[in-house]
Amino acid sequence: MVSIEKEGKNVENAIALGLEQLGVERDEVVIDVIREGGLFSKAKVRLTIKATPKDELCEYIEGLIRFMGLDCSVTVTETEDTLNCEIAGKDSPIAIGYRGEVLSAIQYLATIYLNRNEKSQLKLNVDVEGYRQRRQETLHALAKRLADKVVRQGEPIDLEPMNTIDRKSIHEALANDERVITESKGDDPNRYVSIIPKEKEITYGTSNSFKKSGVKTRTFGQKKKRF
Digitized pLDDT (tens) for each residue of the chain, 227 residues in all = 688 899 999 999 999 999 999 898 998 889 999 998 887 889 999 999 988 888 889 999 999 999 999 999 999 998 878 899 999 999 999 999 988 999 999 999 999 988 887 666 778 999 999 999 999 999 999 999 999 999 999 999 999 999 888 999 999 999 999 999 999 999 988 999 999 999 865 555 555 544 444 444 444 444 444 33
> What is the predicted pLDDT for the residue at 138?
96
What are the tens digits of pLDDT across the range 27-42?
Answer: 888 999 999 888 788 9
Cα–Cα distance measured from residue 24 to residue 49, given in angstroms and rounded to the nearest whole number:
8
Q: Where exactly are the structural domains of the chain?
A: 3-49, 53-129, 133-199
The torsion angles phi and psi of 87, rounded to 5 degrees, stand at: -105, 135
* Ranges assigned E (strand) in the chain: 3-8, 29-35, 43-49, 73-79, 82-88, 123-128, 157-158, 180-185, 192-197, 200-203, 211-212, 215-216, 223-226
**CA distance linking residue 173 with residue 184, whole number of Å:** 14
Count the Cβ atoms, other than its own, within 10 Å of residue 29.
21
Out of 3.10.129.10, 3.30.300.20, 3.40.50.300, 3.20.20.30, which CATH number does the structure's domain 53-129 have?
A: 3.30.300.20
Task: Calculate Rg over the CA atoms of the chain.
Answer: 31
CB-based burial label for 94 (10 Å; 0-12, 13-18, 19+): middle
133-199 matches 53-129 in CATH topology: no
Q: Residue 214, by phi and psi: left (phi above 0), alpha (psi -120 to 50) or beta?
A: left
CB 135 within 8 Å of CB 110: no
- Contact assessment for residue 173 and residue 139, using Cβ atoms and an 8 Å cutoff: yes
CATH code reported for the domain at 133-199? 3.30.1370.50
Q: What is the pLDDT of residue 77?
A: 93
- pLDDT for 220 equals 42
Q: What is the pLDDT of residues 61-112, one digit of tens each?
A: 999 999 999 999 999 998 878 899 999 999 999 999 988 999 999 999 999 9
139 and 166 Cβ atoms separated by less than 8 Å: yes
Q: What is the dihedral of CA 25, 31, 33, 39, to 10 degrees?
A: 0
